[in-house]
Structure 1
Amino acid sequence: MDAQANLPQHVKIVEVGPRDGLQNEQQTIPAAVKVELIDRLGRAGFANIEAASFVSPKWVPQMATSAEVMAAIERRAGVIYSALTPNMQGFDAALAAGAGEVVIFGSASEAFSQKNINCSIAESIARFEGVAQAARERGLRLRGSISCAFGCPYQGEVPLHAVADVVGRMRELGCDEIDIADTIGVATPRKTQAVMLRAAQEFDLKRLSGHFHDTYGQALANIYASLEVGIAIFHSSVSGLGGCPYAKGATGNVATEDVLYLMQGLGIDTGIDLDIVVDAGQFISQHLGRKGASRAGNAIAAKRAG
């Protein structure tokens, strides 16, 4: 019996490093460096790159150059450049910047919602109704992201029905994809499968994605567990960039290089050139003045250096 027979043959990787990864960096990163990173990732073959965030610079200073970045990137045919849009002002800015997908976000944890965006889950979803309608009218893809779907830094356990409720709300808004995010990296494989299967009762499994942080070193195991139940879209961040400003101790997103190495080993097609991604990871790590967090990326770079 082939243990891999039921795994997806193709997986879509959404690269979130330029937005979700860099937004938490304390040092100011020039727009030109962000553009270079996005262009390198575009050349690697990603079909979807999260490139910008049109939120108030007061809250996320690192994303203040988003319009400048979106204006300067090398647009590649077939690549969706996504932007986070918290409200209609953000949506208008994303539209003007040429975003191909807008991303709205909510939490499965009531406590996290209050801490993160100062309102209840229900209020947060209601705020996005205008954005969702505008996206549909303009023919833009709409993606919903659900944070703390596996655990919350403030309330701890997040029940399955709470995740399912937000998935249902996002579905009603007309989301094309919905991300199930382990914002603080506490998930383990069985919990991952339980959450994904419950979410799939509310939304098409093929349009659900896994967004895992590697705080406790479980991200790759959770991705494999997700593959086993049919999830075929995953988010990752080049060189393991990222964290969460509202989740103390949460380390970076799972590293793209590590995910690609796993997929190669499983014989799963991604359409992405791992070597180019390794170069991109080394580029941004050198700019940040620290070693990258991708084990596969660092190993491949070291092997090349001989």
Structure 2
Amino acid sequence: MATDEERLIVRLEATQARFEKQLAAASRSADRRARQIESRFMAMNKHIERGAANVGRQFVAAFAATASLRGAQQLIDASTRITNALKVSGLEGAKLESVYERLFSSAMKNAAPVESLVELYSRASLVQKELGVSTEELLGFTDKVALALRVSGKSAQESSGALLQLSQALGSGVVRAEEFNSILEGALPIAQAAAAGLEEAGGSVAKLRQLVVDGKVSSEAFFRAFEAGSVILQDKVAGATLTVDQGLTNVQNALVNAVRKFDDATGASKTMADSLTKAADAIRA
């Protein structure tokens, strides 16, 4: 008779197979590199499983299935956070999807982390009236920020940190030195563009920083300065080559987008949560 462990393995493998089949159907338009990476990962898993036969193939198979499900869940969680962030900004239905598509397009065009761009837009939209900007201006600002991230060539993690500080700078009324320093470290081109667009700074990042330290740069002034000075970013990005990390960021963006569409159509996040709960119950039994 099958043991509880064997039944658990079969259940996990069946859940994984069903989910991966549905996900593949929903993500045919994803970047070819994502599929290549996935294929290599699967081949590596098979190699590891064969080599681990002497230490318990069933344990390895169960672990691999659980890890794959966890990775899929992380993608679904990211897509859920994106939708929630846009809802916080007051969007829903067709308007929400329209704004998301604009932000996703900006992310892919500039190899910027889409979740971080959405979070920036969401946070800035909460102070939209204080900034005195329209929704179209806010989308244009976010697109230019994505371009600045492409120019910087920083990793997704560094870019995300800089965008968090930028969103705080926009929401605080006055740009603070701590926020500005984080922008300098994680996304220097944003500061360079703002310096170019602020008359008092005269194109000097050092002068802009001193103005920030003196408390003389409002959030609205920084927004407008970056918007005006962003023309310099086009020259900086001309002929630039994407880094490997930026390429991987686009793969992640494509996967999150595919999973988001898949989850919207099928409610996969609820299905996976239910399946994992049942698996946990089986382990406790």
**TM-score bracket relative to the smaller structure:** under 0.3
The structure carrying a bigger strand percent of its residues is: 1
What TM-score, normalized by structure 1, do the two folds share?
0.23
The structure carrying a bigger helix percent of its residues is: 2
Which structure has the bigger radius of gyration?
Answer: 2
RCO greater where, 1 or 2, for CA within 8 Å and sep 6 or more?
Answer: 2
